[in-house]
């Protein structure tokens, strides 16, 4: 097969197809090859690996992943306008399998019999929902390299006693190690969004108790749902006597959720039946 190098330049393809970005689909495209290759280098060497991309759009990141020598790339795209551009790529790269549809409805564990690396410039409107699902669902991914608005990236890696620390920080850090790999300025996108973005890299923790993780979702939803309130009030929706739980795990009932560590939240989740 001729390969990805045989394709016309991405900008020309976007222009010739008249592919203007749609805000409703969270579309901000990347065309800078150096930046796209940098994203693809973030998870390490992907040669021979299986990769999952959400929202390939016109295919800039897709092309970079194929250049990196992935063995299999599954890409799910919701916008029918992008499908003919993506078909042009799969016509020259058999490694690419395009799925037309909504990533929120995909059952990834059924598609990937061996762990896959997720690499995606996520649509902002569904990015957090997808991340929460991947963090709390079955362990089918080997790493995640994801673009978010910088403010969301900061919430993911935040530590207690900061305003960014919340449910997303706790769920992430109970399941993975996460770091901000680098920032991406708004001008790198077409069209430029209003905010700076950042690429976040996640590696799964070696052993995770998934039952506990589900309880953690419930406990953190209650605790951070009323983050200004003391925990003895916020947790009343889960137990008639929150003080008993809190004292059992060594948390002062007058503390607020944003002061509680991930390990303390896990101890609380163990008490939830
Ligand atoms: N990967 C391309 C790039 O980096 O230039 C496009 C990224 S753009 C931020 C997000 C892409 O996700 C768009 O192509 C959009 O159509 C697609 N998208 C939006 N919602 C989606 C969903 N629920 N499922 C699958 N794709 C979706």
Helix axes 80-92, 60-67, angle to 10 degrees: 20
The pLDDT value recorded for residue 26 is 87
C-alpha of residue 249 to centroid of ligand 1, in Å: 43
Q: Quickly state the pLDDT bin for 238 (edges 50, 70, 90).
A: very high
Bridge-partner residues for 50, per DSSP?
72
Q: How far apart are the CA of 227 and the centre of ligand 1, in A?
A: 32
Rounded-to-integer distance, Cα 259 and Cα 116, Å: 35
Residues near ligand 1 with C-beta < 6 Å?
25-30, 54-57, 60-61, 76-79, 82, 102-104, 121, 123, 126
Q: What is the mean pLDDT of residues 161-182?
A: 97
Task: Go through 200-223 and write b for each residue having 16 or more CB atoms within 10 A of its CB, e for each that does not.
Answer: bbbebeeeeeeeebebbbebbebb
Structure pTM? 0.96
Q: What is the mean predicted confidence (pLDDT) over 9-22?
A: 90
What pLDDT sits at residue 135?
95
For the chain, what percent of residues have pLDDT higher than 90? 92
Q: How far apart are CA 115 and CA 159, in angstroms?
A: 29
Q: Which residues contact 85 (CB under 8 A, 6 or more apart)?
A: 13, 14, 17, 19, 58, 59
DSSP letter for 227, please: T
Q: How confident is the model at residue 138 (pLDDT cuts 50, 70, 90)?
A: confident
Paired strand residues for 203? 177
Q: What is the pLDDT of residue 273?
A: 78
pLDDT above 90 for 28:
yes
State residue 21's pLDDT score.
86
- Closest residue by Cα to atom 12, ligand 1, is 55
Look-up of token digits 């003895």: 232
Average pLDDT over residues 16-38: 92
Q: Which is higher by pLDDT, 171 or 1? A: 171
In this prediction, residue 136 carries a pLDDT of 92
pLDDT of amino acid 34: 97
pLDDT, the chain, mean: 95
179-229: pLDDT as tens digits = 999 999 999 999 999 999 999 999 999 989 999 999 999 999 999 999 899
271 C-alpha to center of ligand 1: Å?
A: 39
Reported as half-sphere exposure (CB side, CA atoms, 13 A), residue 177 has a value of 6
Of all protein residues, whose CA lies closest to atom 20 belonging to ligand 1?
25
Residues facing residue 204 across a β-bridge: 176
Distance 98 CA to ligand 1 centre (A): 13
- From 22, 25, 58, the mutation candidate for ligand 1 (largest count of ligand atoms within 8 A of CB) is 25
Largest CA distance in the chain: 67
Q: Give the mean pLDDT of 155-177.
A: 97
Q: CB burial class (10 A; 0-12, 13-18, 19+) of residue 122?
A: buried
Per-residue pLDDT tens digits for 124-137: 889 999 999 999 99
What average pLDDT does range 239-265 have in this prediction? 96
């Amino acid at each position: 097969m001729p390969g990805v190098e045989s394709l016309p330049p991405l900008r020309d393809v976007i222009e010739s197809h008249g592919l203007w970005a749609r805000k409703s689909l969270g579309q901000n495209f990347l065309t800078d090859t150096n930046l796209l290759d940098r994203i693809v280098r973030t998870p390490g060497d992907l040669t021979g690996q299986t990769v999952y991309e959400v929202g390939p759009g016109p295919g800039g990141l897709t092309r970079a992943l194929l250049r990196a020598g992935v063995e299999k790339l599954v890409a799910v795209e919701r916008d029918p306008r992008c499908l003919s551009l993506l078909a042009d790529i799969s016509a020259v790269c058999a490694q690419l399998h395009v799925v037309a549809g909504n990533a929120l409805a995909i059952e990834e564990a059924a598609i990937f019999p061996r762990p896959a690396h997720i690499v995606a410039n996520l649509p902002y409107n569904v990015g957090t929902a997808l991340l929460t699902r991947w963090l709390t669902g079955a362990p089918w991914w080997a790493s995640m390299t994801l673009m978010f608005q910088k403010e969301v990236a900061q919430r993911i890696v935040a530590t207690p006693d900061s305003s960014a620390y919340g449910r997303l920080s706790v769920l992430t850090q109970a399941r993975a190690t996460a770091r901000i790999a680098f920032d991406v300025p708004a001008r790198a996108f077409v069209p430029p969004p209003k905010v700076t973005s950042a690429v976040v890299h996640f590696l799964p923790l070696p052993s995770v108790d998934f039952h506990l993780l589900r309880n953690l979702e419930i406990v953190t939803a209650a605790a951070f749902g009323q983050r200004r309130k003391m925990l003895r009030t916020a947790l009343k929706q889960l137990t008639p006597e929150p003080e008993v739980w809190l004292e059992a795990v060594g948390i002062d009932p007058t503390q607020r959720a944003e002061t509680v560590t991930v390990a303390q939240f896990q101890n609380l989740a163990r008490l939830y039946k």
